[in-house]
Amino acid sequence: MPHESNIVHCDGPDSPHAFDIVPLQPRNGMLDARCPICRGHGQWNTEIDLVSFRCKRAICGHCLGAGWIETGDDPVAVADIVMTPEGYPKWITAYVEKDETSDPDRS
Ligand SMILES: [Zn+2]
């Protein structure tokens, strides 16, 4: 028997099979809203075989794979690009806090 496959390529989270067999991410309690880009999945298929369901996936850059995003004032991890001393752009994860002094847990 030849190996059957039906490979579909997905251009992004709007593609028809982008979320096939991709589980929804559990809400971690810190974050407020389901990510509008990946709709709570945190990742999507860039390529999926509809016979074997083998797939390649991309991590959502908006929520960094968490599936949920912060909408309030809590510190939130965001992807940012910095320039290294060598002059190359580099992706980092930055934690943004809107106003540290207003945090009641801090004395
Ligand atoms: Zn997302």
Q: Which pLDDT tens digit goes with each residue over 59-86?
A: 999 889 999 988 876 666 667 788 888 8
In the block, tokens 């794979």 appear at 65
Q: How many structural domains are present in the chain?
A: 1
Cβ contacts of 22-28, under 8 Å, gap ≥ 24:
22/57, 24/67, 25/65, 25/66, 25/67, 25/68, 26/67, 27/67, 27/68, 28/66, 28/68
Measured CA to CA, the distance from residue 66 to residue 60 in angstroms comes to 8
Q: What is the CA(67)–ligand 1 centre distance, in A? A: 5
pLDDT score of 88: 87
In sequence order, the β-bridge partners of residue 90 are 82
Q: What is the CA(92)–ligand 1 centre distance, in A? A: 17
Domain ranges, residue 51: 7-72
Q: What is the pLDDT of residues 22-49, one digit of tens each?
A: 999 998 777 889 999 999 999 999 999 9
Per cent of the chain over pLDDT 70 is: 80
pLDDT category at 90 given cuts 50, 70, 90 is confident
Q: What is the CA(69)–ligand 1 centre distance, in A? A: 8
Identify whether 96 is part of a domain.
Answer: no
Q: What is the CA(59)–ligand 1 centre distance, in A? A: 8
Identify whether 52 is part of a domain.
Answer: yes
Q: What is the CA(3)–ligand 1 centre distance, in A? A: 34
Q: What is the CA(101)–ligand 1 centre distance, in A? A: 29
In the block, tokens 């099979």 appear at 17
Identify whether 11 is part of a domain.
Answer: yes
Identify whether 106 is part of a domain.
Answer: no
